[in-house]
Amino acid sequence: MPPSSSKWQPHLPDECWESVFKHLNPHDLESISLVSCNFLSLSNRIRTHLTISRYNLPHLPALLRRFTSLTSIKLTHFFAGDIDALLSQIASFDLPSLHSLDISYQRPFFPSHGLRQFSKKFPTLKSLNCSVTNPDFLLIVECFPNLEEIDVSFTSVFPDTDLHVKALASGLKKLRKADISGTSIIRDSSVFAFCQNCVFLEAIVVRETESISNIGIANAIRQRPQLRSLTVGWSNVTLEFIDALVSLKCLTCLDLSYARISDEALCALAEGGLPLRELSLGDSSGYQYTGISCLLRKCNNLQFLDLQATQFLNDECVIELSLLLGNLNVVNLSQNRNLTYLSLFAIMRNCPLITEIRMDITGVGKQKMEEDCLVVNSHLKFLYLACNSGLDDASVTMLASVCPNLEMMDLNHCPWVSMGAIEVLRRCHKIQRMDLALLGYYSSWSKFQVNIEVPTLFVLNLLGSGISDHELSLISKSCYNLKELNLDNCDKITANGVKQVVKNCKQLRMLSLYFREKLSSDIVAWMVLARPSLREIRIPGFHGHTPSKRDGGCFIDVVPKSHGNIPWS
């Protein structure tokens, strides 16, 4: 018998509960907040990031009063002119921990007045992501001289942009990271100004900027030998640039995607002995196996490797390279059509710490998987195999048997798979997300009957599948904890199937319904009332009014009733 409630009152300090709650995602925290007033208060303090769109704008004051520990705010889906007033409104609230603001992709309007008001309340802002025009660079320096991170990538271009970028570099003395990508008029001197004036600079991103030269970037990075991360992109990497690169003895992250680089350059980079942990050569060309193997033998502590679309890669190359990557956590081998399941199993066998493998658009499935090649990897959590047209049910079943702790599997555009996906649900007891878009295009969906409980599955994409109301009903009963469900182009689904989903999935937050069946305003209103957890219903061409009265064409924003006041996000 348990002790009586009057004597048995388990108690943990708030600090312990906060430590536990930090390991939960925001959706779970909403449920936690319903337990008690104390849990509501604690969960409110855990929330540090908030995305504000015009859909949840009516609840902004309540949200800002509720989440007082916010460190980051992002504004999205606003019309020109709205952000000025919104920034002024945010500045009227007490958010002592706020240090990051993202107002990117709001061109052509720049909220000068709003930022001035915002800076008066938050003068110590550390991170800013925005799209600007020339005069706005000076305003940024004026308002936020203490910035440590700035992202003005793909900004508007005017003749004197380079001059204003130099002023930005001169005014932000505490800058640690800068992204000035995609602005073609920026010159070598702009990059040099950042590296020369920003004495704390540790990371710089300069891609899709044709006017930056090898010599220019080489001269710039020599000014800042403590750089830890460098992302550059141009057509040809020269030995002069490599010579400057190897002087960066603290460099741990290097991204040379889309570059042309020779074996000689890679071997020279290897001789520099840089302590690289992340290396990206995705869509790069000019080098062969000799160069990359030379580099990986020296950089044997890599945790992230991107070799997407590498023309010469085959199974033999990957098998040999995998022996050099004992500390690898994430690898991207997508768009290498000569790679088969042998490469996949080599990574799983020789890289015991691997957690994520991307092999989209490869040859996985073109050959029958041999059981003597199978290897169990309990660390692998994320497996992306999209657009592998040779994959079939037998292959996917084998993969499910050797990846018991998968949390995410992407099988979209794998037309011969159907029952294999059910085996993933059956065997991978930690599965949380599955992308099955256009799955089973050439196989029978009438056999896709999920008759096992899958309480861990939160996100499911069934776009373009041949699923009917019957199969959908079974899925909703078995995967009853779904939070996001995509049924776009599922033309066999009717309003009855949708009702079953809304009825059975009691935590559903997002439902996408782009298919031929016309859903009446009554059905949409019923969904809103029947499932308070819903945040978003996507329906094409809908013009009716739900109880929330905030529909916007293809998007209907749905407000929950938790605590009878305001939504979690």
For residue 489, give Cα distances in angstroms to 475, 516, 518, 539: 17, 7, 12, 11
Residue 371 sits at the vertex; the CA angle it makes with 365 and 374, to the nearest 5 degrees, is 80
Nearest to 393 by CA among 353, 437, 439: 439
In a domain, 208, yes or no: no
Four-residue CA torsion sign, 500, 505, 509, 510: negative
- Helices marked H in 371-518 — which ranges? 393-402, 419-427, 469-478, 495-504
In a domain, 481, yes or no: no
- Helices marked H in 152-197 — which ranges? 161-171, 188-197
Q: In angstroms, rounded to a whole number, what is the distance separating the alpha carbons of residues 8 and 18?
A: 22
In a domain, 189, yes or no: no
In a domain, 24, yes or no: yes
Amino acid at 440: G
Q: In angstroms, rounded to a whole number, what is the distance separating the alpha carbons of residues 148 and 77?
A: 26
User: What's the distance, CA 427 to chain centroid?
Assistant: 26
pTM of the full predicted structure? 0.88
Domain count of the chain? 1
Length of the chain: 569
Q: 178 CB contacts (<8 Å, ≥6 apart)?
A: 149, 150, 151, 169, 194, 198, 201, 203, 204, 205
For residue 48, give Cα distances in angstroms to 19, 133, 288: 14, 30, 45
Amino acid at 323: L
Kindly write down the DSSP assignment for every residue of 226-295, as one continuous string. Answer: T--EEEE--S---HHHHHHHTT-TT--EEE-TT-B--HHHHHHHHHTT---SEEE-TT-BS--HHHHHHH
Three-state secondary structure call for residue 330: strand
Per-position pLDDT tens, the chain of length 569: 444 444 444 577 877 877 777 677 666 777 677 677 777 777 777 888 998 887 778 888 988 998 988 999 999 877 656 788 899 999 999 999 999 999 987 656 778 889 999 999 999 999 999 877 666 788 899 999 999 999 988 776 665 667 778 888 889 999 999 998 876 667 888 889 999 999 999 999 998 777 788 899 999 999 999 999 999 977 789 999 999 999 999 999 999 999 999 999 999 999 999 999 999 999 999 999 999 999 999 998 999 999 999 999 999 999 999 999 999 999 999 999 999 999 999 999 999 999 999 999 999 999 888 877 788 999 999 999 999 999 999 999 999 999 999 999 999 999 889 899 999 999 999 999 999 998 766 666 666 788 899 999 999 999 988 888 999 999 999 999 999 999 999 888 999 999 999 999 999 999 999 876 777 778 888 998 999 888 888 887 544 434 443 333 334 544 333 333 334 44
Contact 399, 426 (CB under 8 A): no
In a domain, 31, yes or no: yes
In a domain, 464, yes or no: no
Question: Which domain range does residue 38 map to?
Answer: 14-46
In a domain, 33, yes or no: yes
Cis peptide before 111 (omega within 30 of 0): no
In a domain, 26, yes or no: yes
Torsion over CA of 205, 207, 209 and 215, rounded to 10 degrees? 70
